[in-house]
Amino acid sequence: MSSAEDPLDRLVKSEYKAGFVTDIEEESLPPGLDEDVIRFISAKKGEPDWLLEWRLAAFREWQKMTEPHWAHVHYPPIDYQAISYWAAPKRPEDRPQSLDEVDPELLETFEKLGIPLHERAALAGVAVDAVFDSVSVATTFKEKLAEHGIIFCPLSEAVREHPELVRKYLGKVVPPTDNFFAALNSAVFSEGSFVYIPKGVRCPMELSTYFRINAASTGQFERTLIIADEDSYVSYLEGCTAPMRDENQLHAAVVELIAERGAHIKYSTVQNWYPGDAEGRGGIYNFVTKRGLCQGEHSKISWTQVETGSVITWKYPSCILRGDHSVGEFYSVAISNLRQQADTGTKMIHIGKHTSSTIISKGISAGHGSNAYRGLVKVMDGAEGARNFTQCDSLLMGDTCSAHTFPYIEVRNPSAQVEHEATTSKISEDQLFYCRTRGLDPEEAVSLIVNGFCKEVINELPMEFAVEAQKLLGVSLEGAVG
């Protein structure tokens, strides 16, 4: 970065970097949702009857539900009949079987996103399942993982090849009727990733999924299911981008994690959906249900998220701590710039004895952004010796943005120790002045301070992601402070 450039100029240039459209032949359904659409999706996927019934049951429930509006976000009503629920690159029969066969244009897409699959595969040893619109494009490193008995494949493939596992766990943590968006997802989910780590296996590499919404007027409804059997370990990364479009697009995903006794799941997200433009036109509605179940004793689920994109985010990755001594963690950085609105946080439900949870949430508001932390810590009466520590800090940049904190704490066991701390502040003139006197330009100074503010969370990310996240933080906030 040269400081000679006009910061405004740079802001213009730094507009959403993943906002290109890939010119690939798409096959999509016309907009609209009814039981026939669900049957179509199910048939396209060659699903068994039980899954079609499961979808239809969810759809019937969804029709009875009303869209929730308790979140601190505002948006015009969504017309669910104006969304296309199926979009896929054409020719599903001869979809690439290995990376070499992947459409070069698609690979280029990922290149532009800065996730060269080859490089990742070779250098970082990351296995990638890339979901492009509704279809899983390529899953790398599958064989290597299979040697360990690890299953990592698109959900539709898992339905075909491991129906007993999918049937046992699908909807167990997030039931189809859990909430409005989860019900919609259960009815129309088109793709997603499935991970199974067998007993005692430590997954030798980081598993990763990239989601991208490419086609216009489509929604993306992926569903991820991760099962870590006893004493296993897996680290899973998820990244998302979408092209720039003037209309809003809906992303309603469901992620379910299940950790059996002694298992540890680490789930990291860098969410960079298109945030809309400075006037609030376009952008992704990111209404996501993520929940993990610490089923067994001494299990652990850890969520780390860096939320820089989407025009509206509505997301509460949660942990149900059922097993005794199980551990839940939530580390989050959420940025709202432009006209972005985020209402995000977590739920920690302490059921088992001596369960513990940590919540570290950092919200940054700039421009006309609105950022809310909403979290629930609930200690049930049997959760002897439960422990929670929550810290949520907000950083405000400019006088047109807003920051909110809505914690809910419910404790029914006297031996529980629950602490919640929150602060709200702005970048102080003193901090800026100090950095300036040491020769940093204003943007470098802001970037340094913001990175310091978020450090506790960034440190939790796997290394490649941490680098990407730090860059994203910088890009997202460019021009926020003059």
| Interacting residue ranges for other proteins, rule: CB under 8 A | 70, 72, 379, 381, 394, 396-426
Question: Which residue's CB is nearer to other proteins, number 246 or number 421?
Answer: 421
Comparing CB distances to other proteins, the nearer of 233 and 406 is 406
**DSSP, res 85:** S
Residues 298, 449: Cα–Cα separation, whole Å: 37
Number of DSSP helices (H) and strands (E) in the chain, helices first: 12, 24
In the bound state with other proteins, the residue whose beta carbon lies nearer, of 142 and 404, is 404
Helix or strand holding residue 341 (H, E)? strand 341-344
Q: How far is the CB of 407 from other proteins (least distance, A)?
A: 6
Shortest Cβ distance from residue 375 to other proteins (Å)?
10
Q: Which two tokens stand for residue 148?
A: 């360990």
Least Å distance between CB 380 and other proteins? 10
Q: Which is nearer to other proteins, 5 or 410 (CB)?
A: 410
- Residue 447 phi/psi, 5° resolution? -60, -40
Residue closer to other proteins (CB basis): 60 or 426: 426
Rounded to the nearest 5°, which phi and psi values hold at 453?
Answer: -60, -35
Q: What is the DSSP string of 291-304?
A: EEEE-STT-EEEEE
Contact partners, residue 343, CB within 8 Å, separation at least 6: 71, 72, 73, 313, 314, 315, 372, 374
Measured CA to CA, the distance from residue 117 to residue 123 in angstroms comes to: 10
5 vs 419 by CB, closer to other proteins: 419
Do residues 418 and 380 make contact, with C-beta atoms less than 8 angstroms apart? no
Q: Shortest gap between Cβ of 20 and other proteins (angstroms)?
A: 34
The encoded tokens of residue 89 equal 């690159």
- Phi, psi of 416, rounded to the nearest 5 degrees: -75, 150
Which residue shows structure tokens 């259960």?
Answer: 186
91 vs 412 by CB, closer to other proteins: 412
Shortest distance (Å) from residue 451 CB to other proteins: 20
Q: How far is the CB of 419 from other proteins (least distance, A)?
A: 5
CA angle 29, 34, 36 (to 5 degrees): 70
Least gap, CB of 72 to other proteins (angstroms): 8
Two tokens at 171?
């909807």
Give least dist CB 186 to other proteins, A.
25
Shorter beta-carbon distance to other proteins: residue 208 or 371: 371
Alpha-carbon torsion 420, 426, 430, 434, what sign? positive
| Token output for 228 | 């870590």
